[in-house]
A and B are shown apart, each in its own frame.
Chain A
């Protein structure tokens, strides 16, 4: 392992993280809900029929790209490097959608909200999806796919 310190953005990462945590705190203390993007996206689209009221879920989900757009306008552009393979995007998307619903959450719900609540389910889920993510990328690296 080589640590790519020159590539890292510790300050932007930390301050951006604070914004994410503050947003989750607004959802918790303002609306009494977990800011879990997979659950809110499922609710906003009507895929899930329980959870936040649909207009609330829709408003949160619509806010995400608005926030991305605002940062893009303020900074002159957000750098994003997506996989170029359509197949990669589709397979990964299917797994992320299926897995987050089956496991009741993703990086935001389990990772940010659940870990800070010391929820045993979220701690287990976060350890497992992290481990599985590390293993997947390691296999891709060893298989010459990266």
Chain B
């Protein structure tokens, strides 16, 4: 129960941050990627803000034996740079550019622009299913 409340709090704060920062607005995100148009630098400020708490959190994590509300740290340990990582990132970038949407803002958008966000999220989940079927 405690874990679920912590996750709910984190998710809510994350979604609030996306909405407050303007990142729930696909056109603003696309504006950052639009170097040949009217470039909107907002996303760079969001990234800078987001990296600060995490830059503080990682050194704290190294000193902890376990997280505050769970038994173990479960962090990615792979360091392999492979074609899957590269091709996945490139495909994701194409989709991100086309609509100005990535997973966080899209799910957050379900409460702000439900119809459009739901179309994107359903297609996104379908893409995830396809990836799973194609790589097993």
A binding-site residues for B, Cβ under 8 Å? 1-5, 7-35, 37-38, 41-42, 45, 47-48, 52-53, 55-57, 59-72, 75, 78-83, 86, 88-104, 106-108, 110-113, 115-117, 119-121, 124-126, 128-138, 140-142, 146
Contacts and interface: CB of A to CB of B under 8 A. Distances in A.
A130 B97 CA distance: 9
A124 B81 contact: yes
A100 B129 CA distance: 12
Contacts of B103: 37-38, 41, 96, 100, 106-108
Interface in B98-125: 98-104, 106-113, 116-117, 119-125
Contact of A78 (B37, B55, B98, B112): B112
Given A63-B10, A93-B119, A136 B94 contact: yes
A90 B107 CA distance: 15
Nearest to A108: B104
A34 B84 CA distance: 20
Given A1-B35, A8-B45, 8 more contacts: A13-B22, A64-B107, A82-B26, A82-B116, A96-B124, A101-B132, A103-B86, A104-B85
A130 B69 contact: no
A125 B69 CA distance: 30
B21 A102 contact: no
A142 B36 contact: yes
B45 to A, nearest CB: 3
Given A4-B40, A68-B19, A102 B87 contact: yes
A24 B50 contact: yes
Majority-rule SS of A interface residues: helix
A37 B104 contact: yes
A23 to B, nearest CB: 4
Contacts of A52: 7, 74
Contact of B124 (A60, A66, A93, A115): A93
Contact of B107 (A27, A34, A41): A41
A34 B78 CA distance: 14
Contacts of B128: 38, 41-42, 45, 47-48, 97-98, 100-101
Interface string B46-72: 111111111111101100101111101
Nearest to B20: A16
